[in-house]
Amino acid sequence: MSIKNLQFYSEQFLKILTKSNELLPFCFNNEQKIVDNTINSLKKDNTPVRLIILKARQLGISTYFTSNIYHQAATNFYVKSQVVADDEENTANLFNMCKRYHQFSPEIIRPMKRYSNKKALVFENPDEKQRETNPGLLSSVTLQTSNKVTAGRSGTVTHLHLSEFAFWANAGLTVTGLMQSVPYKPGTSICIESTANGVAGRGEEFFKRWQAAKSGDSDFIPIFFPWFDNPEYEIDPGEGFKLDHLEKDLMDMYPVLTERKMAWRRYKIANEMGSALMRPEEQFMQEYPSCPDEAFIKSGRTVFDNANIVKMINDLKSVTFTTWEL
């Protein structure tokens, strides 16, 4: 059964394991709908899908792409979908999502599966004797970890998803081979998503590709999702809660912010952020950015406060300069 609408397919047939350990239908959140609408628009124009997504943590973007990757392979003939993640744990988590999609989908729409091991779902007839007359979809979903530098160098890939790209080791070398495996044709996709990881070291390749997309120097479409898009990111501020001057400035810049959201932000900074190399506020800006400038702000112990630097950058963007002729 071929169902082209991914949102309908996901909400009707796919199950996800929630943070509260409930197995529930996969209903898209706002961020997932935005990505899905962007992809559908490109497909409608017969344009190859090329996206790069900069995001705050835990907005469900990786979950969306596992459903997209699975859906493409489970509803079409001869599709090779591939996910490459930053480490073994993330790779295993994403593969488990795909296995659940298959395991709990209704039998009537579930494709024949030849095997499911080595982090691969292969949709072929499991009966070798019947394979010649009824081979199945001959499609597959494979997941690999980025430290396998040769990943993607053999064969043609239809849909490629690169997860938490800013945290890959040898990202520049690995991604070269991966990109070459996907032809630039309608019906193909390459989607890169990540939280930021600085502008140098492991995060440099993602930063450069994001900047190229923003400046129009690449065909990748940039999409940014700030932390306050997540409705879960808020708590009761309690009695006596008062904003400091930087928090007030932040609320002035982003009217969508509330005291409940600012209370959550303050809790995260005070209790879960910070290291020997990064101040708590700076780490929050990197992992839960309000704008791309925050996400890529230089890490480490800087002379000037990074929150004030970002504010000045945003203030300058709103200034109109007049040129005087002498």
pLDDT per residue, tens digit, the chain (326 aa), is 457 899 999 999 999 998 889 999 999 999 999 999 999 999 999 999 999 999 998 899 999 999 999 999 999 999 999 999 999 999 999 999 999 999 999 999 999 998 767 789 999 998 888 888 888 999 999 999 998 755 555 579 999 999 999 999 989 989 988 999 999 999 999 999 999 998 989 999 999 999 999 999 999 999 999 999 999 999 999 999 999 999 999 999 999 999 999 999 999 999 999 877 788 998 999 999 999 988 987 543 343 344 554 554 455 445 454 444 43
Q: Is 107 in the same domain as 186?
A: yes
What is the residue whose two structure tokens read 């490109």? 42
User: Domain range holding 310?
Assistant: 237-317
Q: Is 158 in the same domain as 218?
A: yes
Q: Is 199 in the same domain as 59?
A: yes
Boundary of a domain, candidates 195, 225, 255: 225
Which are the contacts of 171, defined by CB distance < 8 A and separation ≥ 6? Answer: 146, 165, 202, 204, 205, 206
Domain count, the chain: 2
Q: Is 136 in the same domain as 261?
A: no
Q: Is 221 in the same domain as 241?
A: no
Q: Is 217 in the same domain as 252?
A: no
Q: Is 143 in the same domain as 252?
A: no
Whether 279 is in a domain gets the answer: yes
What pLDDT, on the 0 to 100 scale, is given for residue 176? 85
Q: What CA–CA distances, in Å, run from 87 to 97, 180, 196, 295?
A: 16, 22, 16, 21
Q: Is 33 in the same domain as 132?
A: yes
Q: Is 204 in the same domain as 282?
A: no
What pLDDT, on the 0 to 100 scale, is given for residue 298? 53
Q: Is 193 in the same domain as 306?
A: no
CATH of the domain at 32: 3.40.50.300
Pairing of strands 15-17, 23-25: antiparallel
Torsion angles phi and psi, residue 191, rounded to 5: -130, 120
H/E stretch holding 222 reads strand 221-225
What pLDDT, on the 0 to 100 scale, is given for residue 145? 93
What pLDDT, on the 0 to 100 scale, is given for residue 117? 72
Q: Is 252 in the same domain as 219?
A: no
Boundary of a domain, candidates 176, 201, 225: 225
Whether 211 is in a domain gets the answer: yes
Q: Is 166 in the same domain as 23?
A: yes
Boundary of a domain, candidates 193, 225, 257: 225
Whether 232 is in a domain gets the answer: no
DSSP code for 77? T
What pLDDT, on the 0 to 100 scale, is given for residue 12? 95
Whether 1 is in a domain gets the answer: no
What pLDDT, on the 0 to 100 scale, is given for residue 311? 52
Whether 200 is in a domain gets the answer: yes
What pLDDT, on the 0 to 100 scale, is given for residue 321? 44
